[in-house]
Amino acid sequence: MSLLTLVGISPLIGALIVLLIPAKKSELIKRVAFIITLLIALFSILLAVRFDKAITGFQFTQNNSWISAFNVNFAVGVDGISLVLILLSTILVPVVILATWHESDTGRWNTKVFYILVLVLETLMIGVFAATDLFLFYVFFEAMLIPIYFLIGGYGTGNKSAAAVKFLLYSLFGGLLMLASIIGIYVISGNQIGATFDLAKLATLQIDNQTEYFLFLGFFIAFAIKAPLWPFHTWLPDAAKSATPGTSVLLLGVLDKVGTYGMIRFCIELFPDATKTFTSFIITLAVISIIYGAFMAIGQRDIKGLIAFTSISHFGFITMGIFALTSQGVSGASLYMVNHGFSTAALFLIAGWMIWRRGSSTISDFGGLQRVTPVMAWTFFMAGMSSLALPGLSSFVSEFLVLVGTYTRYPVAAVIGTLGIVLAALYILIPVQKALHGPIVSGNENLKDLNLREKVAISPVILVIVLMGFYPKPVLDLINPTAEKIVINSGYSDPVAKVGK
Amino acid sequence: MPIANYLYLAAILFTIGAVGVVVRRNAIVVFMCIELMLNAANLAFVTFARINGNLEGQIVAFFTMVVAACEVVVGLAIIVTIYRSRRSASVDDASLLKR
Amino acid sequence: MQISENLVWFIALPLISSAILLLVGKKANSWGHIAATTVSASTFIIGVIEFFAMQARPEENRAVVQKLFTWISVGSFNVDASLLLDQLSICFVLLITGVGTLIHIYSISYMSHDLDRRRFFAYLNLFIASMLLLVLGDSYLNLYVGWEGVGLASYLLIGFWNQKPAYATAAKKAFVANRVGDVGLSLAIMIAFATFGDVTFSGIKEQTDAASTTQLTAIGLMLLLAACGKSAQFPLQSWLGDAMAGPTPVSALIHAATMVTAGVYLITRSSFIFDEAPIAQLMVLIIGAVTLLFGAIIGTAKDDVKKALAASTMSQIGYMILATGLGPVGYAFAIMHLLTHGFFKASMFLGAGSVMHGMKDEVNMRKYGGIGKFMPITAITFGLGYLAIIGVPPFAGFYSKDKIIETAFNAGGIKGIALGIATLLGAAITAFYMTRVVILTFFGNERWGHKDEPHESPALMLIPIALLSIGSVASGYLLSKGKSLVYWLEPVVNPLKEHHAEELFSHTTVSLMTISVVIIGVSIAVRKYRGDQSDTAPEKVSKLTIAARKDLFQDALNEATFMRPGQSLIQKLLNIDHLVIDGAVRSVGVVSISAGSKLRSLQNGYVRSYALMMVIGVLSLIAVIWVVTA
At A390, phi and psi to the nearest 5?
-75, 130
Q: What is the mean pLDDT of residues A319-325?
A: 93
C-alpha dihedral, A36 to A37 to A42 to A46, nearest 10°: 100
Buried b (16+ CB within 10 A) or exposed e, C424-434: bbbbbbbbbbb
E strands present in C264-321:
none
Name the residue in chain C with its Cα closest to that of B91. Answer: C607
Alpha-carbon radius of gyration of chain B: 16
Contact indicator for C433, C296 with CB cutoff of 8 Å = yes
Q: Is A323 helix (H, G, I), strand (E, B) or coil?
A: helix
Of C603, C604, C608, the CB nearest to B21: C608
Measure CB to CB from residue C604 to each of B21, B23, B98 and give the nearest one: B98
Structural contact between residues A76 and A129, judged by C-beta atoms closer than 8 angstroms? no
> Between vectors from CA A437 to CA C256 and to CA C177, what angle results, nearest 5°?
40
Q: Are chains A and C in touch, 3+ Cβ pairs below 8 Å?
A: yes
The residue among C18, C74, C207 with the most chain A CBs within 10 A of its CB, best to mutate, is C74
Q: Do C197 and A429 touch (CB under 8 A)?
A: no
Is A439 buried (19+), middle (13-18) or exposed (0-12) by CB count in 10 A? middle
User: Contacts of residue B98 in chain C, CB cutoff 8 Å?
Assistant: 603-605
Those residues with Cβ within 8 angstroms of residue B13's Cβ, 6 or more apart along the chain or in another chain: B36, B37, B39, B40, B43
Q: Taking CB atoms and an 8 Å cutoff, what residues of chain C touch A430?
A: 172
Q: How many helices (H) and strands (E) does chain A have?
A: 22, 2
Residues of C in contact with A476 (CB under 8 A): 72-74
At A399, the amino acid letter reads E
The answer, yes or no, to whether C and B have at least 3 beta-carbon pairs within 8 Å is yes
User: Per-residue DSSP letters for C96-110?
Assistant: HHHHHHHHHHHHHHH
In this structure, the number of other CB atoms found within 10 A of the CB of residue C503 comes to: 12
Q: Residue C73 and residue A499: Cβ atoms within 8 Å?
A: no
From C276, C294, C18, select the one nearest C131 (Cα to Cα).
C18
User: Going by C-beta distance under 8 Å and a sequence separation of 6 or more, which residues neighbour residue A125?
Assistant: A86, A89, A144, A250, A254, A255
Q: Determine contact: C600 vs chain B, CB below 8 A.
A: no
Q: Rounded mean pLDDT of A187-211?
A: 88
In angstroms, what separates the C-alpha of A497 from chain C's closest C-alpha? Answer: 5
Q: Which of B22, B91, B95 sits opposite C615 (nearest CB)?
A: B22
Amino acid (one-letter) located at A429: L
In chain A, % of residues over pLDDT 90: 55
| The pLDDT of residue A263 | 92
φ/ψ region of C536 (left if φ > 0, alpha if ψ in -120 to 50, else beta) reads: beta
Q: With an 8 Å Cβ cutoff, are C183 and A418 in contact?
A: yes
Q: Cis bond leading into A374, ω under 30°?
A: no
**Amino acid in position C34:** I
Burial A244-262 (b: 16+ CB within 10 A, else e): bbbbbbbbbbbbbbbbbbb
Q: For residue range B25-53, list pLDDT tens digits in order.
A: 888 898 899 999 999 999 999 999 999 99
CA distance C569 to chain B (A): 51
Q: Are A118 and A111 in contact (CB under 8 A)?
A: no
Measured at the alpha carbon of residue C51, what is the angle toward residues C203 and C350, in degrees to the nearest 5? 105
Q: Nearest 10 degrees: CA dihedral of A142, A148, A150, A155?
A: -170
Residue-level pLDDT at A501: 42
pLDDT of A235-287, one tens digit each?
898 899 888 888 999 999 899 999 999 999 999 989 988 999 999 999 999 99
Write down how long chain A is: 501
**Angle between helices A145-155 and A134-143 in degrees, nearest 10:** 10
Are A166 and C585 in contact (CB < 8 Å)? Answer: yes
Report how far Cα A84 is from the mean position of its chain's Cα atoms.
11
Q: Which residue of A has its CA nearest to C74?
A: A328
Smallest CA–CA distance from A333 into chain C, residue: C74
Mean pLDDT in residue range A17-21: 91
Cβ distance C607 to B91 less than 8 Å, yes or no, reads yes
Three-state SS at C23: helix
Query: Residue length, chain B?
Result: 99
Indicate which of C599, C601, C606 best probes the interface with B, i.e. most B CBs within 10 Å of its own CB: C606
Subunit contact C22:A378, Cβ cutoff 8 A: yes
Domain boundaries, chain A: 271-492
CA distance C184 to C500: 32
Query: Is C615 close to B95, i.e. CB distance below 8 A?
Result: no
Domain boundaries, chain C: 1-275, 277-549, 555-629
Residues in chain C: 630
Judged by CB atoms closer than 8 Å, whether chains meet at A499 and C196 is answered as: yes
Cβ contact, residue pair C615, B25, below 8 Å = no
C538 touches chain B (CB under 8 A): no
Q: Which amino acid is at C434?
A: M
Mean pLDDT, chain C cut into blocks of 10 residues (630 residues total): 85 92 87 91 93 88 89 89 90 92 91 88 93 92 93 91 88 90 93 90 88 90 93 87 87 88 93 90 92 90 88 91 88 90 91 86 82 86 90 86 87 86 91 90 81 82 90 87 83 75 76 90 88 77 80 81 86 86 85 89 81 90 92
Evaluate whether C342 touches C259 at the Cβ level (below 8 Å).
no
Looking at residue A491, what is its pLDDT?
A: 84
Q: Using an 8 Å CB-CB cutoff, list chain C residues near B96.
A: 605
Select from A453, A308, A314, A458 the least CA-distant residue to A377. A458
Q: Do A401 and C74 touch (CB under 8 A)?
A: yes
Listing from the earlier edge strand, what are the strands of the sheet with C77-85?
A: C2-3, C64-74, C77-85
CA distance B3 to chain C (A): 23
Q: Is A471 on the interface with C (CB under 8 A)?
A: yes
Q: Tell me which residues of chain A, numbers 206 to 235, contact chain C at a CB-CB cutoff of 8 Å.
A: 231, 233-235
| Residue C537, burial from CB neighbour count under 10 angstroms (0-12, 13-18, 19+) | middle
Confidence of residue B97 (pLDDT cuts 50, 70, 90): low
- By C-alpha distance, the chain C residue nearest A470 is C71
pTM: 0.89
Q: Per-residue pLDDT for A496 more than 50?
A: yes
d(CA C182, CA C186) in angstroms, rounded, equals 6
Q: pLDDT tens digits, residue range C56-75?
A: 888 888 889 999 999 998 88
CA torsion C18-C22-C26-C29 (nearest 10°) is 10
Residue from A291, A378, A400 whose CB has the most chain C CBs within 10 Å, to mutate: A400
Q: Which region, left, alpha or beta, applies to residue C53 given φ > 0 means left and ψ of -120 to 50 means alpha?
A: alpha
Residue among B21, B97, B99 whose CB faces C611 most closely: B21
Look at residues C347, C505, C328, C340 and name the one whose alpha carbon lies nearest to residue C412.
C505
pLDDT in tens, A392-441: 899 999 999 999 999 999 999 999 999 988 999 999 999 899 888 888 88
pLDDT of residue C330: 86
Task: Give the residue from chain B lying closest to C602, CA to CA.
Answer: B98
Q: Which helix (H) or strand (E) holds B74?
A: helix B56-86
Give me the phi and psi of A440, to 5 degrees please: -70, 120
